[in-house]
Amino acid sequence: DIQMTQSPSSLSASVGDRVTITCRASQSISSYLNWYQQKAGKGPKVLIYAASSLQSGVPSRFSGSGSGTDFTLTISSLQPEDFGIYYCQESYSIPWRFGQGTKVEIK
């Protein structure tokens, strides 16, 4: 099975900061990588699919890049509503795997 590793596990940043979260796959997954945001007690919300495609309705401050084994999610200017846990997820081979999550806090 493919293993997904995110870093950092948590971060604290100020409003307006540029934030980057990385996700590494244990083998090449081409561009089959999705990013989700989850807030406490809610189902996740897709932000980016296929590594770099912005889901409809998601603010343009979110962007994704990467291919193969290394991927990044960038928030260009952190907003107060961006707190939560961010997960990457591969859709290269079943069973789909998620990263362990990155908790984003607002300073």
**Residues at the contact surface with another protein, assessed by CB under 8 A:** 1, 31-32, 34, 36, 38, 41-46, 49-50, 53, 55, 87, 89, 91, 94-101
Q: How many CB atoms lie within 10 A of CB 1?
A: 10
Give least dist CB 39 to another protein, A: 12
Give least dist CB 17 to another protein, A: 24
Burial label for 88, CB within 10 Å (0-12, 13-18, 19+), is buried
Q: Are 2 and 26 in contact (CB under 8 A)?
A: yes
Give least dist CB 40 to another protein, A: 11
